[in-house]
Amino acid sequence: MANPFGNLGDLQKLQQQAMAMQQALQKETVTIEKNGVKVVLRGDQQIMEVSVDGIIENRIADAINEAVKKTQEMAAKKLLEMNK
């Protein structure tokens, strides 16, 4: 009989790699400036700063980050529903 937990080690290894990747991405940033708007984004897609014509508007960053979080939660919920 095959060991039903045989792939558990592979799963743990993948999880560790994913966590390491996320930590590495959090240390990287991308800055885009276009038409008077500047956006600073971490590699894990977290918006760090939004400025418009040199005025920092982190309320915009907070709203976008909240929207992204909601879409991630929605995607996770859909994935769970598909796996039932």
Contact 25, 18 (CB under 8 A): no
Kindly state whether residue 28 falls inside one of the protein's structural domains: yes
Using CA atoms, how far apart are residues 67 and 16, in angstroms rounded to an integer? 27
Q: How many domains does the chain have?
A: 1
Domain CATH number, residue 73:
3.30.1310
**Interacting residues of 35 by C-beta distance below 8 A, sequence separation 6+:** none
Kindly state whether residue 2 falls inside one of the protein's structural domains: no
Kindly state whether residue 1 falls inside one of the protein's structural domains: no
Contact 36, 50 (CB under 8 A): no
Kindly state whether residue 63 falls inside one of the protein's structural domains: yes
Contact 44, 19 (CB under 8 A): no
Question: What pLDDT score does 53 carry?
Answer: 96
Q: Which range of residues forms the domain containing residue 28? A: 8-82
Question: What pLDDT score does 6 carry?
Answer: 59
pLDDT in tens, the chain (84 residues): 555 555 666 778 888 888 888 888 889 999 999 999 999 999 888 999 999 999 999 999 999 999 999 999 999 898 888 877
